[in-house]
Structure formats: structure tokens, C-alpha cells
Chain A
Amino acid sequence: MKIQIFYIILLLISSFCISSCKKYLDAKPDKSLSTISSIEGLQGFLDDYRIMNQRCTQATAIASDNYYLTDDLYTKLRTEEGREAYLWKSGVFKYEANDWLNEYNIVYMANIVLDGLKKIDKTARNAAAWDNCKGSALVYRAKSFFEIAQVWSKAYDSFTAAKDLGIPLRLTSDFNVPSVRSSNENTYLQIIKDLKQAVPLLPNSSDNVLRPSKPAAYGLLARTYLAMGKYSQAKLYADSCLAINNQILDFNSLDPTSSSPFGPILYTNPEDIMHSRINRGVKIMLVYVYARIDSLLYESYDSNDLRKSIYFRTNADGSHGFKAAYENANQFYNGLATDEIYLTRAECLAREGDVANAMKDLNKLLINRWKTGTFVPYTADNSSDALNKILLERRKELFYRMLRFTDIKRLNKEGTNITLKRFIGGKTYILPPNDSRYALPIPDLVIQRSGMQQN
């Protein structure tokens, strides 16, 4: 009898235990830690602007032609990889995979959010936040894919794009999925797909300029189509972008003597559509201490052109260095602003032969760059004259905006024949148009660990 009672008790205890065990063990071990369960938690990943908006690649700027180094400055560079990058050598990022790592870190965060959203139901209450979260993640991912493609894959060429090597398109946060390079065609298709998907999800104006918005998605579409040489689509999306935000900053409102003219309007610049900057990392060669500005380029700015004193500074030795554009001093903006979109639209119009409207867009921008009352509007005789003027102004306006490398690659495809040259140690290093080195070598560590194909 006693034994029977005992077994009954035991049975009760064990059945109680089994049913309550799962719940008991599902308790949170550390209250300060969270798991994915809310939109706010996911949005928080995207709002970590130090990762999402401040780790963009710098390789395009290092490899392009806006600056030069003297022998002395070249040897003073802190890292060997900086020296190699300057000469487009294959050892770029041999030891550290900073740019690759940083851009893919943004992609990973976006993928965490996109995967996380699958676990959260969209309800009437959270619909706006849910959409914004998804749209933002898609824009971040597309922007990073675009930037990675500019460094590590060839210029888009519709004839060869299906065969040309693109970038690994990581579309999941599951790190058991291996990284495989896609074609250039698929790379750009994915970027466009992400952005188009984001457009209806995003608001016309975001909470702050660091967060993506509808005009940001349109603007990035314009940027992407332009890079692909698809000018009619580029114009279309530039139009859509400017339809929402067409403001231009009057540079007369800035203090050209300030060491950081954009400091006061860092996140309130009316032109700013989506604010981001590059991660300078260890290769700080772009700062004025090292990088000297091509003197011909500097002199091409009119004396009444405010950009001459706002973008640049004069060094003690009389040479010129970069001061600031759309960011604090010594930082490098690579976000999206209306000036770029105006120039994109102007270029597309010029290519279509609409010289009048092209010059209208250009002049609308430039009048805000000259000292008040000094600007004489540009005119063009024909569409190629207009195109040349617009492309020169594009280079001057978008100085150090991480777009030059893309433009060189695109324009050389069309036969512009821009040849990059470096003079170091009495030797001249040349990067001829359409050279295979326009797709920089992928960091060795990435090749070693993923087994993907090198450029």
C-alpha cells in the first residue's frame, strides 16, 4: 500500500515536471539580452548608424584620380596595403579585409532584419513600422551591394554582363550558406530588385537623414541605372526622386573660412537624401595631410566658385588638400544628395538631346555654388557640348563623393579614354581604360576561406 502511494506521487510529480519543464527552461537567462521578437528590436539594428551609415567602402576613392601622393608622402603612408592600393597592385587588403568586411557587415545586418521580419506578423498596428523596417533593410543591402560591385567587379556591359563576374549576393543571415560570386547581370538585377521592392514600403520623408526613404530608393535606382549606362531609366528615377525632394543648398549660407563648413548642417543639409560616409580605416591617405589635389582640377574652379574654398584647403607648402564636402572635416560623404540627382538627370537629358532642359538642371545647381550675383549661366551649342560641360561639373561637384571610380569605369566603356597615372620613385604607373584592374582583387583571406573566384 505504502509503495503504491509512493508510485502515485512519483507519477504525479513526473507528469507535472514534463509538462512544465519546457516552459521552465524557456525563461530568459539574462534580462538585458533580447531575442528577435519585435519590430523595435529589428529597427534598432538599422538605427545603429555607426555600422549602417559609417562603414562604406573607401577603395573606390583610393583607386581613382582626384588626388596624388608625392614620393615622400607615399613612403610615409602607414601601411603597405595603402601603398599597394595607390598603385592598384594585387596585394590590396592582403592583411585586413576592412572594406569587404564592413560592407558585408551592413549586408548581414540587413539580412538579420529581413529574416527576422519573417517571424513577426504584420498587423494593422505595426504595419507602418514593419514596412519601414523592411524597406530600409532592402535599401541598405542594395546600397552596399552597389558599392561592393563598384570596387570588385567590372563596369556593367549589357553584352557581357551575364558572363562577367559579379559579387557574392548574400541574401540570408544563415552563415552556413556558402558565398558564391554571381554574374554582373544578376548583381545589378538584385540591386534593382531590392530598391524597387523598397520604394512602396518607404515614406516620402524619413525620421532623419540617416534612415532610408522613398527618394533615397529612387535616387539609388537612378545611380544604379546610370552606372549601367541605362540612361532613360536613370532619368526616370532621377525625376521620381526630385519630384519628392528638389531642394538645393545655397553655398553662400556656408562659412568658407570654417575648417568644417558643413559641420553646422551635418544632418540638416536640405540636399541630403540619405546620409552616409566611408570608413577611413587604416588607409587614411585621402586626408589632406597626405592626398594632394590635382592642381589642374583645383585651378578649374572659378574664383567666384565657393566650392574652391569650401571643398579645399591650402597646405603650408602651397599645395591643396581636401577640406570637407557634405560631412565634417576629414570625413568622406558617400550618401545620396540632390546635387548628384540633378547632375544625373542633366546628363541623361543631354544624352537624349534635350540640351535646354539639361542646361537648366545644371545651372539651377551651379547658381547656388557661385557667390551671389556672380554666376553667369552655362550654355551649350549641342548635346555633346552639353554632355562635356555636365560631366566636368559632375566631377567638380561630386568631388570625393566615392562616385568618380564608377564614372571612370562607365565613361571608359563608352570610349572616353580616361587613363589614370601615378608617379612614384621616378616610375610611372598607368591604369589604362577598361583594364582588368578596374575590378580590384578580392582580399586574399576571402578567397582562402570561401574558395570563391579571384578577379
Chain B
Amino acid sequence: MKKILLFITNMLCILLSLHAQWSATYNIKGIVRDTVSRQPLEGSTIILQKSKASVLTNAKGYFIITLSIPSDTLVISHIGYQTKHMAINRNDNASLTIQLVPITTHLQEVVVSTGYQSLPAERATGSFTKIDNATLNQQVGSNVLARLKGVASSILFPNQNLAGIPKLMIRGLSTINGPKGPLIVVDNFPYEGDIDNINPNDVESITILKDAAAASIWGARAGNGVIVVTTKRGSYNKPLQVHFNTNLTVTGKPDLQSLRIISPSDYIDIEQFLFDQGYYDAFLDNTYSYPALSPVVEILAKRRAGLISDADVTAQIDVYRNSDIRDEFSKYFFQNAIAQQYAISLQGGGKYFSYFLSGGYDKSISNLSSQNDRYTLRSQNSFTPVKNLEVKLGLQYVQSGTISGKPSFGTITVGGVAIPYLRFADANGDPLPVDKALRSIYTDTVGEGKLLNWKYYPLTDWKHQTGSGKQQDFTANAAISYNLPAGFSLDFKYQYERQMQEIRSLSDINSYNARNLINRFTQLDRTTGMAKYIVPLGGILHLSKGALEVQNLRGQISFDRTFNMHRINAFVGAETRQAHSIGNSSTYYGYDGNTLTTANIDFTNSYPTFINGNYSTIPGLQGSLTDKLNRYVSVYGNAAYTFKKKYIVSGSARKDASNLYGVTSNNKWNLLWSGGIGWVISNERFYNSHWLSYLKFRATYGFGGNTDPNRTALLTFRQTSANTGFPGNHDISRLVNLPNPGLHWEKVRTINVGVDFQIKSQIMRGSIEAYFKKGMDLYGPDPQDPTLGLGLRSVIIKNVANMEGKGMDIVLNSKIINSKFKWDSHLIFSYNASKTTKYYLDTSLLSASLLNSGSRLSPLPGKPVYSIIALKWAGLNTDGDPQGYFDGKISTDYANIYNDTRREDLVYKPVLPRYFGSLINDFTYSRFSLAVCIYYRLGYYFTKPALTYSQLFSNGSIVGTSDYAERWQKPGDEKTTNVPAMLYPANNYRDFFYSSSEANVLKADNVKLQYVNLSCSFNKADCQLLPFKQIELYVNASNLGIIWKANKAGIDPDFITSPVTGKTYAIGVRVNF
């Protein structure tokens, strides 16, 4: 059709040009090209403004147009290019080369989704970050949110084991004691389920709502930011497209040698020393509970008893000196982790319908042989049965399963003590026992063969103690939208989600756990040799089930209309949501998997225990039931007005109510609002900068909320069965929540100012934003007069705390080279700092209770919400003793330093990175492209687990004990080391002081290579033999390790107490049919 038209126009041109030969007309010829690629542009429209003549360019970009008047203006336009005006007259050169500038201002094409509406970023005043499909695909993990790492500004993955800190945070903290994770929205509704149920291959894009104007539409749950996941769907009038993606990921074994634990040889030396000091005598003499002792201590005890020769002792001990438990773990338990991913999707549509269908299968085996699999099925269909009406239906089903694997490092101990040398198998590879709780000399003989084997075999026990989980998630949604006259439209949406979870853990009869429990309660008749089992013979099975059912309903009226220079876009709506979760759990004893039989057990009476005859009740988990229901009702509205495409004003408000206990209905409603302005300066007449082709300023102000369903305003209690040991057996009531009528939701005020810009021809575009957050009326403890009688809770939680956060996000995207070889660079920089401004802290608290290695919350006014709080360090003295300060003087009075150091003399360091971001470089040449992401986090600290002698003696080779090799040993060492001299018996306060001193607080700043992705694609155009439209092969590497770190101790701050994980490599292929 197009060709025919073109042919006709060309013919007309030729005719006209022939005509010009003999009339007073003049032909203008020319070619239209793209300024950048120099490619000719077919189908450009050429219009003469005065004479109204028009033509289209042909396939080679040529045109001829006839000028009938002496001078005119040529208007050259093409979709996706800036329209060009050119004055022309007959005397001009008759052959023109016209270059059109592409409007590739990415900025203007970006459509962000808030979950309530989709709007072009250009018309937005709020702060949004959009991560498109291509960027998401640069990483290959099966968790969609994990793919945001390194690619989204303002999102921090703290990667630290901090109490209450979520895996990812948007723009830092907004609350102290409230929930800290962002709200996750999938398509239109908050997602309550497990985020692992979302197949990343089904995700089209992710929008992050950062400031109040962007997020406040989500009201009381938006205080920590919102992440909107938009899934793929079909489009109308598109032929069938089939995509297939598969990849194989291999992750190496973790580096156990990176664990900072004492060497076997050093530890054995300490054991020998302690043995000589009589440290183990009390354990060796204990015939009451026969506590397990390490192999070396047992050997030494045998020598003392004269049972083995000195030569044998040395030989046996030397075997252990060379059996590093890390090597045993690496050899017998760890393996490469393997993950496979398969995903296929079909999409397309006709005039009245569109469809999207996808299926995915993921399977993985972890480093410790635990298994995971996931099946996903999804469909999204749209219909327009009559004009102006659209119906959308979606269905999703996910099924996943997990099976537990081998024991993780650190879980195999001897009597609770970590031993750096242990052997799991003999020379033939047969399992060796490890004394887990009881000494071998006891378990070898005690039962006279009448008890179950009482040994623990790490090599095989995991096969008998297993856990598995199953999860099913079903989601169905329907949406109807109807366009009314005059720019109005009406939307109704409904979603139902049901997630079911089943966890099963079994200790079968061959597991140590079951054998141990049975033996402990066995009653053995020594004369007849008959055993009576109080805990029935068989396995122990624990089952728990949970179901979550979420329903959402939303009705919305929208208005979108342009009147001349005015554009109004507004909507109001109401929604309700209900989340209902139920659960139950139960435990079965004497379980036999073959016959599915179980036995009854008596939990109430005491029975004599085998080892010492003490009476005890049978320990165990009993059944429990849960039933929780949360309901929310909300009304909301949003409006934006744009004038002359230059000035934008927007506002948004929302009121939420919920069934939180005890708030009277009036107080349940909580209003949160925001407003914003935008100004596209580059659209102003006076604006004449050529190099800065786009410039927009925007500012917003508003409130988000934060709510914790566990905090209630009415007195609530739990009725439970009577305390044991009392007569009457009446149910009792236990206070759960004190009445707190003034309690309301937390408020977070955010001010955001930002500039979006683009430099000519997209050499660089980006945005700079600054924000100020203030968390007000945050949950915090309010001290109470003990006379009120609130029991041990002499504080109650009220809306009494405040905090402040501030920060900056800078995103710069540059096209450094843009020719056949392309080099795009994306720089992301985020700054965030938060501090507590008001918080009650008991003034009588000793410094000892403030000291904090950074793993818990420490809200002290004026300090970061998460801080390391440490004692000042004055180095070692010439005796190898650590020194601190007390009353301004160097001191070794450890008890006083530890307990009574004044607050102002403590050292405070931030735990969360203050500066973070990434640099992504994309290189493309021909069919090849390479992406390299470097991720950095700066301006924060961590506490290195320190060597303390009291713990070394009692807990063994825990993380930090490797410092033993660097301890002070002789005068002069204090110049080169901070590790105190060994002291026996250990001085607890000396240890407390050292481990909580500044000496172990290190800079955590680091730069990491987050991922490298190399891909290569072929089109059918390249190779006609190809049976597909396009095929792309890719190789991806991640967890590549640290490029630079600030600390000299060689510690990766992401792996302070755990081993550094292995590198991950993936290979995959994407095919479009």
C-alpha cells in the first residue's frame, strides 16, 4: 500500500517536473538523512508551507517538489525526528541535503507507572527511576528485585546482618522502629506474596517511586518508597511473537579460607595449655551429663590416664593438626551450585484482542546441595468487545519447592564448641562420628547394645534430618475500563491472590536428633535388658501450613483532556483490600514413613532421663494456630495540570483506614498528601542554549506514611491455658498491648528538588536530585512512671520519635562514542545520611548497654539511626594489655571503662553506606555488546569480630580467632599489633573492652565488580538460514569480587562472619521466533 502511494507520488513528481520544464515553475530536489547515522530517511513528509504542496521521500530518501511561487518555506518532518523549517527561493541550490535530528530524547519516551496510572516522565513532577527490560536482563538471577542491584539509583542493598534492615532500601531510612522495607507493587496492587514467585522473564520494567509526589498515592504504606513491577502483556494488531530464554548458572564453592578462624595447630596448642592448667578437669570428671570434649582433649585425657604412649599421642594429634575443618567441609559438603532457567512466552493480538502467555521453569542446586524448583505460568489477555470498552483478564500460577541440603559451616560443633579440626570420614571414605553433645567414652558402652546408636555422623546425618517446603501461588485479576465522552474514563479492577505454603521437617529414626531424644527418655531394665520407650521409636515429623488470601478491589474515574495549551490529567478512586492469613502446625512422634503411623506422646508428665535420672518433661514443639486479618479502605485522588508543555502542577491526596485495633473509626482515617511543580525551561521562548537541549526543573513536597499492624491502640490480650503447677487450671489472660488511644501512623515528610537535562544530540542526559526527609511521630519508647504498674514495660511505644534523612541522587547517561562502535556510560551516584533527632533513652543506662557492634538499632539523638558505638582505643601497652581511656586518661581499668564511660566519650560511626552507586559501561560493536557494572559503597564502617580469650577458651574457633596468630607475644609487638596478649584465666572485662573498642572498627568502603555481561545477536537479515527472527547468546559473570576496599585487614565487608561466596557464571540464549 505504502509502496503504491510512494510510486504514485513519485510519478506525480516526475509529471510535475516535466511540467516545470515548460512552465514558470522550479523543481527542488533533495535527500533527507538522519544527522547521526547518515542513513536516508524514507517516508519523510515534505510540505511547502505557502503553496501547500507536499511529497514523501522515496526508499533512498530522495524527493522532488515543485516551487510555484518565488519563495516559500519547506517543512520537513518524519516520525521520531524534529521537524525542520527551511526558507527557500528559486535562486537556491536546487539539490538539498537535509539532515533531521532524531527526537531520541529518551526522557520523553519514558513512561513511568505508579500502579494507579502510567504517565510520561516528562509530565511528572515526582521522582521516578525506571529500569527497563534491557537493563534488567543484564543480570540473570531468579529474583527480580535482586536484579536492581547496581542499576537503580537510590536503592541500597545493605548486605549486612542488621536487625530490622530489609534486603533493599530506597533512599535510606524513614523510620526507627516501624517496618523499613519498601512497598512492592506488581502491576496494580501491592504484592503480599513471596517475591521469588515472580519470574523475572515476565517482567517488562520496574519503576521506583522515590519521593512523596511519586509515592504518596500509596498512602500509609509508602513511607519507605514503592517499587512498581510491570509485567509483560500483548499489544493489539501485532503478529504472534515467540520468545524463548534459557540459561545455566554455575556458582563456585564459597571460599572457606576467607573465614577468619584460628588454625588447627594454634588451637591444639591452646588446648594442650588449657589441659595442663586443669581447664577441662571439671568436664572430664562430669559423670552427670558427660559433656562432649574435643578429640585432642580426649587424647590428652587418655595419656594422663596412662592409656596411650607419648609417641602415639604426638602422632594422633599431628593428624588433627593437618585436618582443617574448612577443608573437610569443602571436600565433603560444598559443591558448585547450579541453576537452570527456562522461559517461553507468546504474545500478539488482533484488532479486538491481545494476548500474552508465558511459562517458566527454574531449577537450582545450591552449594550445600539443597534443591529449589519453580514453575510459573502466566497469561494476560485484553479484549475490546465494543468501542470504548476494554476488558483485561490475567491469571498466574506459581509452584515452587525446596529440599534441604547438607549442614552449613559452623553448625557442627563438639559440645557447642567450634573445633577448627575435625574429621568426617576415614581413609575409606566411611563416616566418622563427631561427639556432638555426649562423650564417646559414655556413648560407646552405656547402652550395652540396648539403646539406639548414640553417635552423630555429620557425613550422613543430613540425609536423615530433612526439611522441605512447597509453595503455590495463584493470582487472578480482572480489569474493566470504559471511555466516557469528554475525556472521562472509568476503571474497575479486582485481584485475588492465594498463596499456600507447606513446610515439612523430618528427623527420621536414623537421625541423630531422633535417636538422641529417644535414648534420653529410654527406661532400661538392667536385669531383663528390656527397653521401655517413653519417646516412641520412630521419626519426628513437624508440619506447618499457611495460607494467605489477598483481595483487592478498586474503582477509579479518570479525566484526561487537552484544551489548547492546557492539559488536565486527573483521577479519583477508592479501593479496599483485605489480607487474610491462617496457619497451623503440628508435630508427630514415632513417625514411620512407610506405614504413615505415629504414636501419642505425653508432654505434661515428667519422666526420668537416662543419663542421670533427672526428671524432665519431653521437650517438643506442640501445635499452634494463627489467624490474622488486615483490612484497608482508601480513597485517593491525583491531578496534574500542564500549561503550554512548560509548566506542570500536580497534587495527590489519599486517606487510608484500616481495622487496626482500637482506633476509633474517625481516627482510622489518615490523610496523606503531596504537591509538585515542574517547569520545562527549555520549552521557554527565552531559552536559547543550544548545547543543553532539554532542561526541566521540578520540586515536590508531601507526606508518606508508615504503619505497623502489630501496634494497636486498644488493650488487647491473649487467652492461654493456665500456668502449670497451679490448682484450678483456669485459662489466663496475658496483656499483649497496652491501651494506647493516641497511637497513629507514622508520617514521613519528603521534599524533593530535581533537574533533568539533556545535552545536544544526547551526548549526555541525566538528572540531579536532592531530597530531605523527616520522619515525624515515629514509634518510639516513652518512659513511664513505674507506679502506673505497666510491669516490666516501664516504657510504652508512642508516636514520640523523630528522625531526619537527606540525600542526593545523580544519574548521568553519556554516549561517549556513537558510531559503528558504541560506548554508553551510566553513572549512578547516591548520597544518603540519616540521623535520629528525638528519641528517649534511659538516662541511667551504662555505657556497656550502649556499646553496639552495629548489628542492632542504636537511636541516640544526633547520631545515625544505625551506628557502631565503640570505646576509644589507646593501643597495647608494653605488657600486651589493651588500653582505653577513662576520665580522659589512658587506663586499663576495664570494668570502669566498659561500664562508666560517658556518652560523649564514646566513638560513633555510621553502619549504612552514605555514598553508593555504580558505573555501568555498555560497549556495542556490530552484533556484540558488553556491559560491565562496577558497584561502590562508601562512607561506612563495620566491626571486625575480635579475638577474645574468654570466647576462644569456651566457644572455640569462632570467627575472629584467626587474630591469635597476630597476638602480642613479646615487648615491642605492641608497635605492630592491636591483638592483646593471651591471658589465662581470661579477664572478661578486658575482653569486653577490647572487642567493643575502636581497634576493631574498620572502614567498610569498597568497590566491587557487580557483573559483566557479554552478548552477541544474529538477525534473520544477517543469515537467511537462521530458523529464527533473532538469536542472542549471552555470557554473564557476577560476584566477581572486590576491586578495592578501604580496610587493610583483608575483609570483604559483605562477608564479615560468613565465607566469601563463589563467583557466578552464566551462559544463556534468547531466541525470538
Contacts and interface: CB of A to CB of B under 8 A. Distances in A.
B794 interface: yes
A29 B660 contact: yes
B727 A101 contact: no
Contacts of B633: 17, 21, 24-25
Contacts of A376: none
24 contacts: A3-B484, A6-B490, A10-B557, A13-B555, A24-B631, A25-B633, A27-B659, A29-B661, A33-B717, A41-B717, A41-B719, A45-B717, A45-B733, A49-B723, A49-B726, A100-B787, A101-B789, A101-B792, A170-B787, A175-B790, A209-B727, A210-B726, A210-B728, A449-B783
A170 B788 contact: yes
B732 interface: yes
Interface in B626-658: 626-631, 633, 657-658
Contacts of A45: 717, 732-733, 735
Interface string B788-818: 1111101010000000000000000000000
A50 B723 contact: yes
Given A13-B555, A175-B784, A97 B794 contact: yes
Nearest to B739: A173
Nearest to B580: A27
Given A25-B633, A32-B626, A32-B718, A449 B661 contact: no
Interface stretch (B229-237, B708-716, B905-913): B708-716
Interface in B649-683: 657-662, 665, 668
Interface string A19-39: 001101111111111111000
Contact of B726 (A33, A170, A267, A449): A267
B101 interface: no
Interface of A: 2-3, 6, 10, 13-14, 17, 21-22, 24-36, 40-45, 47-51, 95, 97, 100-101, 104-109, 111-112, 168, 170, 173, 175, 178-179, 207-211, 267, 443, 445-446, 449-450, 452
Contacts of B714: 35
B730 interface: yes
Nearest to A168: B787
Closest 8 CB pairs of A and B: A108-B789, A44-B733, A104-B789, A31-B627, A179-B787, A208-B727, A450-B785, A208-B728
Contacts of B723: 48-50
B786 A449 contact: yes
Given A24-B631, A25-B668, A41-B719, 14 more contacts: A6-B484, A10-B557, A17-B633, A24-B659, A29-B630, A40-B719, A41-B733, A45-B733, A45-B735, A47-B722, A106-B789, A170-B787, A179-B788, A211-B728
B731 A44 contact: yes
Nearest to B716: A33
B531 interface: no
B848 to A, nearest CB: 13
B844 interface: yes
Contacts of A101: 786, 789, 791-792, 794
Contacts, number: 173
A25 B784 contact: no
Contacts of B715: 35-36, 112, 173
Nearest to B843: A448
Contacts of B557: 10
Contacts of A210: 726-728
B584 to A, nearest CB: 12
Given A25-B631, A40-B731, A449 B555 contact: no
A16 to B, nearest CB: 11
B794 A28 contact: no
Contacts of B626: 30-32
B568 interface: no
Interface in B684-739: 709, 712, 714-719, 722-723, 726-728, 730-739
Contact of A48 (B488, B709, B732, B783): B732
Given A97-B794, A108-B791, A30 B717 contact: no
Contacts of B722: 47
Nearest to B796: A175
A9 to B, nearest CB: 9
Given A3-B485, A35-B716, A101-B791, A449 B730 contact: no
A34 B733 contact: yes
Contact of B791 (A3, A13, A36, A105): A105
Contact of A267 (B727, B738, B739): B727
B524 interface: no
Contacts of B783: 449
Contacts of A209: 727
B625 interface: yes
Nearest to B574: A17
Contacts of A104: 786-789
